[in-house]
Amino acid sequence: MGWGYQSSLGHQDHGQWDADLLGAHINLKELLVPYKFLRSHRDLQDRSIVFEMDNTSAVHCILCQGSSKSEALLSISEKLFLEAHDRSLHLSALFRLRSYRGSVLLLAPWWPAQPWFSVLRAWCPNSLFLGTACLLNPLTDKLQSSLRLHAWNFSAER
């Protein structure tokens, strides 16, 4: 596994982790990337820099200038902010998901007269008829006979 970054100013780099860091916790590795960025671009001074990262612990360490929960993260944070202080850099971070895949299973009755039903059928035309066998709580006989429960599966990726 390796590391990498790119900036809005056109800086980019990537590489493999040194042997002594291969087994390090991912949070430590994620926080080392901004430090590598600053060490590689000593020309940056008197600026504000926002790191967009997909690791909440690394974002927290930058926003809070360290972490009391990990000596290793605190040590890297101190090095990062000392580097920033020496060059009048203001550091901040944003959490950004790189990609996300999710799915949901919607259980709903077969009610074609409802205004939402046509939209549901357009989004996901294939449903699975479940009946009422999947219900944990018993329903009144009248409601149970009218409730034709179906399952629709939706998934998306960003």
Joined together, the tokens standing for residue 24 give 């390090």
Residue type at position 64 = C
**Coil, helix or strand for 148?**
coil
Phi, psi values for residue 89, rounded to 5°: -105, 135
**Coil, helix or strand for 19?**
helix
Q: State the maximum Cα–Cα separation within the chain, in Å, rounded to a whole number.
A: 76
Per-residue confidence band for 107, with pLDDT thresholds at 50, 70 and 90:
confident
Residue pair 149/108 in contact (Cβ under 8 Å)? The answer is yes
Joined together, the tokens standing for residue 84 give 């920033």
- What residues pair up with 6 in beta bridges, in sequence order? 12
Per-residue confidence band for 130, with pLDDT thresholds at 50, 70 and 90:
confident
What confidence tens digit (pLDDT) does each residue in 26-51 have?
A: 999 999 999 999 999 999 999 999 99
